[in-house]
Amino acid sequence: MFYRIFIIAVMALSAVESSAQAVNQCALIQCDCAAINQGTWRNSCETRERNIKARCNASGGERVSACTIAGASAWPLTLQTVSAERTPTFLLDEDPLDNWMDEANSQLDALNFQMASSRDWTIGKLQEASWSQAIVSAVAWRDQLRNEWWLTSNSLRGEAKLDEDPVDEDRVAELLPNVDARIAELRRLREAVNNPGAEAFALINVLSSMEIEQLQVKAQLLAMIAQYEPSAEVWQQVARRSEGLFRQSGLTPNEQRRAAIDAVAEHYQAATAFDRAGNQRAALVAFDRAEEIKANPMVLAE
C-alpha cells in the first residue's frame, strides 16, 4: 500500500515539475548578487554568475554549475534544497508563473497526505526495529519534504512577485513552528535508533540528512522575511552539523564529500546573511571558514 501511494504521488508531482522544466534553465540562473553588501564578494558573485551562465549555454543546458558566495534568493546552490534539479519557478514570467502556481497549490494537499503516510510508516518500522524498511520509507519521506519545500518556497516568492510585495510574513510565521517541530521530531527519531548494525547506521544517516535539510529550510524562511541575523545563526548551526557529519564514522567517501560540499555552501550563506544584517565580523568568520573547507575538505577531519 505504501509503495502504491508513493508512486501515485510521484506521478502527480511530475506533471507539475515537467511544466517548470520546459523553460530554459540557463536563463534562470541568478546568484542574487545585488543582495550582497560587501563589494569584493559582490564582484566575485557577479563573475561566478556570468561564468556559470556561459558554461550552461555552451553545453546546451546540460551543465548547470552552482553559485558559491550568493544572496538568499540565489539559484542554484549546491544545497539539496536549492539544487539545479529544482527549477526556480518564481523567476518565470508572469503568465507561466501564474499557471504554475495554480498547478502547484493543487498538489500541496496531496503531498501533505503522502508525507504523513511516509512519516507514520517510518516511525512504525523504526519502533519495530525493521531498519531496512524504515530506510525505504524515510528516503521517500525525505524526497517528499524536498518537493514540498520546492512547491512552498516558489509559491511564496511567486506570490510576492505577482503581487509586487514582499514575501507574506504571516504565511512564513505559520510555517516556522511546523519546521521547528519537524526538526525536533527528526532529532528524536535519530536518537531513538540504538543499534550498532550497518542498516541502523544507514537509517541514522538518512534521518540526519533530513534534519539538516529542515534547518536549511528554516534559514531560508527567515531570510525571506528579512530576519537576516537569525537566518545566519541557523546557517551556522547547520554548517556545524554538516561538519560533524563529515567526521562521523562509517561514511563512504561520497557521503563525506556531500557533507563537505554542504558545509561550504552553508558557511557561505551564513556569511551573506550576516553581511545583510550588518554584522561584518561574523560575516568574515563564516566566509573564511567556507574558503578553508573549500580549499581543503580534510580540515573537517581534524
Instruction: State the residue range of the domain holding 78.
Output: 24-84
97, pLDDT greater than 80? yes
- Asked, for residue 99, whether it belongs to a domain, the answer is no
Is the dihedral angle over the CA atoms 27, 97, 235, 118 positive or is it negative? negative
How far is the CA of 279 from the CAs of 179, 190, 275, in angstroms? Answer: 26, 34, 6
pLDDT of residue 81: 82
Give me the mean pLDDT over the 63-84 stretch: 88
Q: What is the CA radius of gyration of the chain?
A: 19
Q: What is the pLDDT of residue 15?
A: 43
Does some domain include residue 91?
A: no
Q: Is residue 262 part of a domain?
A: no
- Residue 152: DSSP 8-state: H
Nearest CA-CA partner of 62 in 19, 24, 31: 24
Q: How many structural domains comprise the chain? A: 1
Nearest to 100 by CA among 41, 150, 37, 28: 150
Query: What whole-number distance in Å separates Cα of residue 87 and Cα of residue 25?
Result: 7
User: Is there a domain that residue 75 lies in?
Assistant: yes
Question: pLDDT-derived band of residue 67, with 50, 70 and 90 as boundaries?
Answer: very high
Residue 177 lies inside a defined structural domain of this protein: no
Give percent of the chain with pLDDT exceeding 90.
Answer: 72
